[in-house]
A and B are shown apart, each in its own frame.
Chain A
Amino acid sequence: MALCIRKSPNVIRILKSKIGSLVNASLTNSHSTPFRAEDLRNPDGVLVAQPTLFMNRRYKAEEGFASQRKVDVLNFPGGKVAFTHEMNFISESYEERIPCYRVLDDSGQIIECSNFTEVSEDTARKMYSNMVTLQVMDTIFYDAQRQGRISFYLTTLGEEAINIASAAAVTSDDIIVPQYREPGVLLWRGFTLQQFANQCFSNRHDQCKGRQMPAHYGSKEHNYFTVASTIASQLPHAVGAAYSLKMDGKNACAVAFFGDGGSSEGDFHAALNFAAVMDAPVIFICRNNGWAISTPVSEQFRSDGIAIRGPAYGLRSIRVDGNDALAMYSAVHAARKVAINEHRPILIEALTYRVGHHTTSDDSTKYRPVDEIELWRSKQDPVVRFRKWIESCGWWNEGSESELRNNVRKQVLNAIQVAEKAEKPSFEDALTDVYDVRPSNLVEQEKWLRDTIKRHPQDYPSC
């Protein structure tokens, strides 16, 4: 696509007009005047000041109906709908697929006339360093699982740009509601390599107390909801969280991540619809990586991906090249403005590829061509592409590269050594946190368990 854009100024114009609308709309949309969210706690204030707030704000064309002949319009409770004498079924697909917004071409050069958000040198360097760190951490943790040192792991390989660029484009006040392949967001927010290692080794320093499988991170301090393995169940939570941010008048939104597979769950549909109806400031970021374990997207849905579903629910949507960190950064940055200033949910479909196996329990060569994996691992690597760009900006060179990789490698190796040696969580925490306080059944069970351990210490790890 990059090439065709370069060659054809016409396409650029068309794309700019379409893609640009996400960015521009936030500034020019006359339909919903930005309002201060504090007003929302005062229902009268809201109703007086914002008469359009609780009205359907999407169908501009309705205003034109008044001047039309009466018979042409059905005025039903959902609004006015024009009649037509033609029996036209809406097509199940559009002639053209939704284009994919991209800023950097395959060789890491900015595509002419691209509409994107500027990134400072510092931010760009930090983004790149974080992408590399994520990659190195993944490689070493993955090997640690293969060596039997941790029980499970899953990598984010191939999806580093989505992770890091979206993290960079929001602020740490924004609430992250993750699936499981977004540890890069936590990394960006300052969760340390030691903290990642502690969770994966289920040691005493894991904030989640060793209760969940490796790679199920969570940190209140970093506004990052704790991961659950269940697919898509987090999506409605993001809407509730976003609604709270709106009601509290916070300058923040919720950012929910999910996969192509997740878009099939009922919770996905519930979340999109709720988000639209509640005018919730939430950004849904779908990592469409082509696969849900062994199921290819062709067996997951017949729609043109995920972005197309947004308008059906009343969400502004965009499809982005997920391996283009600049495009991801720009799209999320713009989406955040709209979400917060206009209290609108936004859907972003990031096209990418799951370069690794689904998890350490999977061997993806059983169900997908090795060539396909190789292509994405090499030619489409988002980290390499971003590196080419920062190098061409003069912000990075071979020296910084080897220094970074050496440092990170050492840090990760050190982190897992420390994590491995650390004590396991203490027995005290086996029966806490089920409720805020322990009810009598758990008090009784703990006592019984302590007696059992005394009788059969050989059955229990010492903790």
Chain B
Amino acid sequence: MAIGFTRYAKRSLLSICSQSKRELSTHLEQDGKKSLNLCSAINQALHIAMDTDPRSYVFGEDVSFGGVFRCTTGLAERYGKSRVFNTPLCEQGIVGFGIGLAAMGNRAIAEIQFADYIFPAFDQIVNEAAKFRYRSGNQFNCGGLTIRTPYGAVGHGGHYHSQSPEAFFCHVPGIKVVIPRSPREAKGLLLSSIRDPNPVIFFEPKWLYRLAVEEVAEDDYMLPLSEAEVLREGSDITLVGWGAQLSVMEQACNDAEKEGISCELIDLKTLIPWDKETVEASVKKTGRLLVSHEAPVTGGFGAEISASIVERCFLRLEAPVARVCGLDTPFPLVYEPFYVPTKNKILDAIKSTVNY
């Protein structure tokens, strides 16, 4: 396409490199660590989950041959068709089936092929998965359910292969929403999500499946849910984001630094229940907050963060909270460069917030 895209102009903390031709990249083995892309890291986590619990299952549309993004490669061969299988093309069926499987004490790891196609399963997620524990007085639960789904922009996905629907699910008490930023994070957070005693929706930044590569420990490790991480310390402004957007935000932080602005960057990782304390502590220090996500700004999760921080830090704030997000339109094909929250949009907002 004529319209180019410059989101990954340079290497960032995510060590993004182009290796689109490689399927499951594993190279450079060192001290029990391998350089893996995000897709392979997810694949490794799924292998570990299947190895460590014989009551785990992986299923969804086209997962048998490895999935359309190749994240489930090798699983069906290794664990057999009874534990790793294609389902009929029916998202409500996939999630409903997963709830039943999980309610019987299994780990149901369901794949929804694209987050854009999660909506036929909305009722199962919102009314069933999220409320099973509460409505049964904790007699039943489907905590073993994890829904993996690729989300976000890829440069040419248009309306139905680009969306970031996380905010819909953040409005639902009873489920957790987790979004990793890199291969190492993806592996540890996915294992935690699978083993968490609550249903989790795990959104995978598909832009990074092959682009993000980093050293990933081979062993079975978990990273805590509901704990944000300060990726970079700074004193003038706090930036909060998650998933693929963090690398864009990091580039903005680098550019801001050149202009003498010190940015603190936080990866929220778990959107609900989220780690307010880490964000609050940071904003109390910097006095300013900027949130950025790809989803439309109106009603996005940035609104919740903004409101909570204003409640907690009102007297410490030196400027209004800035939100740099997707436009309030459907995700457009040809207008994607206009739609997405780019580095320069963020940089502008950093400057105007600091100079408020």
B117: chain A residues within 8 A (beta carbon): 230-231
B342 on the interface (CB 8 Å rule)? yes
Q: CB distance A460 to B338 under 8 Å?
A: yes
Kindly state the separation between the CA atoms of A292 and B68 in the bound complex, as whole angstroms.
Answer: 12
Q: Does B335 sit within 8 A of A, measured CB to CB? A: yes
- Inter-subunit contact A264/B89 (CB<8 Å): yes
**A38 interface contact, C-beta 8 A:** no
CB of B69 to closest CB in A, whole Å? 10
Contact of A213 among B330, B333, B345 (CB under 8 A): B333
A299 at the interface (CB under 8 A from B): yes
Question: What 1/0 mask marks residues of chain A from 424 to 435 whose CB sits below 8 Å from any chain B CB?
Answer: 110101110010
Count of chain A to chain B residue pairs whose CB atoms are closer than 8 Å in the complex: 135
Asked if A456 meets B328 with Cβ closer than 8 Å, knowing A213-B157, A299-B86, A424-B3, the reply is no
CB-based contact A461/B156 at 8 Å: no
Q: Flag if B298 contacts A212 (CB, 8 Å).
A: no
Residues on A with beta carbons closer than 8 Å to the beta carbon of B329: 430-431, 434, 442
- CB contacts (< 8 Å) of A445 on chain B: these are 297, 327-328
- B93 at interface by CB-CB < 8 Å: yes
- Tell whether A361 is near chain B: CB-to-CB under 8 Å: yes
B62 interface residue per 8 A CB criterion: yes
Q: Are B160 and A431 interface neighbours, CB within 8 A?
A: no
Inter-chain CA distance A293–B117, complex, in Å, is 15
Does B88 lie within 8 Å of A300, measured CB to CB? yes
Q: Is B4 part of the binding interface, using a Cβ–Cβ cutoff of 8 Å?
A: yes
Number of interface residues of B (CB under 8 A): 45
Which one, B62, B327, B338, contacts A295 given CB within 8 A?
Answer: B62
Q: Which residue of B lies closest to A366 (CB)?
A: B65
Q: How far apart sit A212 and B4, CA to CA, in the bound complex (Å)?
A: 17
Q: For A210, A441, A442, A461, which residue has the most chain B Cβ atoms within 10 angstroms? A: A461
Quick one: which of A247-285 are within 8 Å of B by CB? 261-262, 264-267
Interface assignment of A216: CB less than 8 Å from any CB of chain B? yes
The answer on a CB contact under 8 Å between A295 and B89 is yes
Contact of B86 among A152, A210, A294, A429 (CB under 8 A): A294
B1 at interface, CB cutoff 8 A: yes
> Which of B120, B160, B297, B337 contacts A228 (CB under 8 A)?
B160
9 other A-B residue contacts (CB within 8 Å) besides A210-B332, A264-B88: A211-B330, A212-B159, A232-B89, A294-B62, A295-B86, A430-B338, A431-B327, A445-B297, A459-B337
**Nearest CB to that of B88 among chain A residues?**
A264
Is A230 a contact partner of B160 (Cβ separation < 8 A)?
Answer: yes
Q: Are B161 and A424 in contact (CB under 8 A)?
A: no
CB-CB nearest in chain B for A452: B345
The interface bits of chain B over 312-345 (1 if a CB of A lies within 8 angstroms of the residue's CB, else 0) are: 0000000000000001111011110111001011
Q: Which residues does chain A contribute within 8 Å of B158, judged by CB atoms?
A: 211-213, 216, 229
Contact A210 B334 (CB under 8 A): yes
Closest residue on chain B to residue A361 by CB atoms: B68
Contact A294 B64 (CB under 8 A): yes
Q: Is B348 part of the binding interface, using a Cβ–Cβ cutoff of 8 Å?
A: yes
Interface flag for A136 (CB, 8 Å): no
Checking A202, A300, A452, A453 against B333 with a beta-carbon cut-off of 8 angstroms, the contacting residue is: A202
B1, closest chain A residue (CB): A151
Q: Do A461 and B337 contact each other (CB < 8 Å), given the known contacts A152-B156, A299-B86? A: yes
Report if A150 contacts B (CB, 8 A). yes
- Kindly state whether residue A54 has any CB partner on chain B within 8 Å: no
Q: A211-B335, A460-B338 are in contact. Are A455 and B348 (CB under 8 A)?
A: yes
* Residue on A nearest B61 in the bound complex, by CB: A295
B contact face: mostly helix, strand, loop, or mixed:
loop
| CB of A395 within 8 Å of the partner chain | no
Residue of A nearest to B114 (CB): A229
Interface mask (B158-173 → A, CB under 8 Å = 1, otherwise 0): 1111000000000000
Are the C-beta atoms of A213 and B156 separated by less than 8 Å?
Answer: yes
Whether A455 pairs with B344 at a CB distance below 8 angstroms is: yes
When each residue 122-139 of chain B gets 1 if its CB lies under 8 Å from chain A and 0 otherwise, what string results? Answer: 000000000000000000
Chain A proximity mask over B1-15: 1 for CB below 8 Å, otherwise 0: 111101000000000
In chain A between 216 and 264, which residues have their CB closer than 8 angstroms to a CB of chain B? 216, 228-232, 261-262, 264
Q: State which residues 35-91 of B face A: CB under 8 Å.
A: 61-62, 64-66, 68, 85-86, 88-91
Q: Decide: B338 and A449 in contact? CB cutoff 8 A.
A: yes
Interfacial chain B residues near A463, Cβ < 8 Å: 334
Closest to A296 in B: B86
User: In whole Å, how far is A270's beta carbon from the nearest beta carbon of chain B?
Assistant: 11
Instruction: Tell me, rounded to whole Å, the shortest Cβ–Cβ distance linking B314 to chain A.
Output: 25
| Bound Cα distance A441, B328 (Å) | 8
Verify if B92 is at the interface (C-beta below 8 Å from A). Answer: yes
Docked pose: A294 CA to B60 CA in angstroms:
12
A306 to chain B, nearest CB (A): 13
From residue 290 to 337 of chain A, which have CB atoms closer than 8 A to chain B?
292-295, 299-301
Report yes or no: A265 in contact with B62, Cβ–Cβ below 8 A.
no
Q: With A and B bound together, what is the CA distance between A43 and B91 in angstroms?
A: 40
Check A367 for interface membership: any CB of B closer than 8 A.
Answer: yes
Contact B328 A424 (CB under 8 A): no
Contacts of A264 in B (CB 8 A): 88-90, 93
**Structural contact, B328 and A442, CB atoms closer than 8 A:** yes
Residue of A267, A293, A427 touching B120 (CB-CB under 8 A): A267
A452 partner, pick from B64, B92, B348, beta carbons under 8 A: B348
**CB of B161 to closest CB in A, whole Å:** 7
Residues of B within 8 A of A460 (CB): 337-338
Q: How far is B92's CA from A455's CA once the two chains are assembled, in angstroms?
A: 46
Q: Mark B103-122, 1 if CB is under 8 A from A, else 0.
A: 00000000000001100100
Q: Whole-angstrom distance between the alpha carbons of A430 and B334 in the complex?
A: 9
Q: How far is the CB of A28 from chain B (nearest CB, A)?
A: 38
Which residue from A424, A434, A452 sits with its C-beta under 8 Å from B334?
Answer: A424
User: What 4 A-B pairs have minimum CB-CB distances, sorted nearest first?
Assistant: A210-B334, A264-B88, A229-B160, A151-B156
Contacts of A425 on B, CB cut-off 8 Å? 334-335
Q: How far is the CA of A306 from the CA of B89 in the complex (A)?
A: 14
Separation of A361 and B328 alpha carbons in the complex (Å): 29
Bound form: Cα–Cα A460–B339 in Å: 11
Contact with B along A136-153 (1 / 0, CB 8 A): 000000000000001110
Contacting residue for B3 out of A152, A209, A461, CB 8 A: A461
Interchain nearest-CB distance for A177 vs B (Å): 17
Chain B residues contacting A211 (CB-CB under 8 Å) are 158-159, 330, 332-335
Max count, chain B CB within 10 A of own CB: residue among A202, A232, A362, A441: A202
B350 CB to closest chain A CB, in angstroms?
13
B89 x A300 contact (CB < 8 A)? yes
Q: Enumerate chain B residues within 8 angstroms of A213, measured Cβ to Cβ.
A: 156-161, 333
Distance A425 CA – B160 CA, assembled complex (angstroms): 20
- With CB as the reference atom, state the residue of chain A lying closest to B298: A441
